[in-house]
Amino acid sequence: MKVLHVDHIGIAVHGIDAGRLFWEDVLGLSFEGEETVVEQKVTTAFFPVGESEVELLEAVEADSPVGRYLAKRGEGVHHIAFRVEDIDAALQELKAKGIRLIDEIPRTGAGGARIAFIHPKETQGVLVELCERSGKGDGR
């Protein structure tokens, strides 16, 4: 597979507004808006950095993947996403290598990206997302 670059770093936060105080006001990153991914019950906020982004993740409700993560582990780095050229080919390659996947089939993430997570048991405990974006130039 071809991994192009780090697409984004997902950070679980209790509140995006509070998160902006650091990422935008202190670090000086530009805030590019929020998007709620209804299926995942999460609101995401993007702060582009070069070819990558910081992505804050706020749970829409406690009973959601990010809500459960926050309850168990508190705020912090939730996942690292790598941009790949072809996510279908990447997933096939991983399956052929016997790598456990959370998503065998890509689903739609924020910004319309096609995404899939690799099981953290395969990655020394890091939740790794693969991400394919068709559009160019929006930095997501």
- When the beta carbons of 21 and 77 are compared against Co ion, the nearer one is 77
CA angle in degrees (0–180, nearest 5) for 74-24-46: 70
Four-point Cα dihedral 22, 28, 33, 39, nearest 10: -50
Q: Does residue 10 interact with Co ion by CB under 5 A?
A: yes
CB of 35 to Co ion, least distance (A): 11
Q: Does residue 81 interact with Co ion by CB under 5 A?
A: yes
Beta bridge partners of 117: 129
Give the x-and-dash track for 114-133 against Co ion (CB under 5 A): ---------------x----
CB of 81 to Co ion, least distance (A): 4
Which residues lie near Co ion (CB under 5 A)?
10, 81, 129
